[in-house]
Amino acid sequence: MIKIGNISLGDFPLLLAPMEDVSDPPFRALCKKYGADMMYTEFISSEGLIRDAVKSVQKLDIFEYERPIGIQIFGSEISSMRLATEVCEKANPDIIDINYGCPVKKVACKGAGAGILQDIPKMVEMTKEIVNSTNLPVTVKTRLGWDENSKYIVEAAERLQDVGIKAISIHGRTRAQMYKGEADWALISEVKNNPRMNIPVFGNGDIDSPQKALSYKNRFGIDGIMIGRASIGNPWFFNQVKYFMKTGKELSLPSLEERVKVVKEHLDFSIRWKGERVGIVEMRRHYANYFKGIPNFKPIRTLLVTLESTQELYSVLNNIVNQFELETV
């Protein structure tokens, strides 16, 4: 049984990665429904939280059915991160997660996210301050290092554990790699197999099929897998992985009818949570994946990402099953 603090996650948990503009409540609701064992919010700016910025505060919205859920924060100032932790605690999450992995220039080049991998002592000091400022379990999401010459993750993970984190999730790339090349899970495995490590170690990066998830579980011995891009427009992925791990067989793909039903659920929640305009716009990134593999679908997808009213969108969605029922894969 894998535990983060006192939180039980099963024998081999599947975690939904925190993804900016993706891991919001509407998307998380579907991932939970279809098998995610643990989820995180989108990453939230510590500066935004302590300044009460609307966009940052809205990301603190969590719901009882999502539990266990972690709120993820990022920032470059230790004092701001400590204050942001106190703000997060009031939202009553199960976990506080620290983002030391975001490679995006506007984050990393300010010393936040993966930027802190250039200063491991500061990373350790910041983590210690956060651990000491909350009664909640603290976890970390990070990368192997800043670049090819600074893959200090084995030592860094040990030091983070020593100051009190309860789990670590490692994306198997450096900041310099961004999302290119192949994730190095052998180095994640080194962290897990370090005899000094006694907290859960979760692997992240390139898990895009149930077969690969099982293969990496067996090859690298990690405690669980964090799933990111493979779940976008595909919340069923968690159950597909679990089914394959249990039976060695592939779970049948969702029918077109099921896909449309879930898209409507997602869209409806998105509009309720963000308002019609923003809710519609932010759904657009999901359509391509929800309807992936359906021949001749491009004109409909183009329509879905250009329509601006709920009524028009539902009209198109309601016609999809009849229009494509003979062509689904």
Residues annotated catalytic, as ranges: 102
Task: For residue 59, give the 3-state DSSP assignment.
Answer: coil
Token code pair at residue 100: 């030391």
Cβ-Cβ contacts under 8 Å for 106 (sequence gap 6 or more): none
Residue 209 has φ and ψ, to the nearest 5°, of -155, 155
Which residues share a beta bridge with 139?
97, 167
Distance between CA atoms of 46 and 56, rounded to whole angstroms? 8
> If we measure between CA atoms, which residue out of 169, 112, 160 comes closest to residue 142?
169
Cβ–Cβ under 8 Å, residues 41 and 60? yes
CA 124 to chain centre: 23
First to last CA, the chain: 37
In the chain, the amino acid numbered 87 is V
Q: Cis link prior to 68 (omega < 30° from 0)?
A: yes
* Block residue for tokens 């090859």: 219
Which amino acid would we find at residue 47?
E
Q: What are phi and psi of 112, to 5 degrees?
A: -105, 175
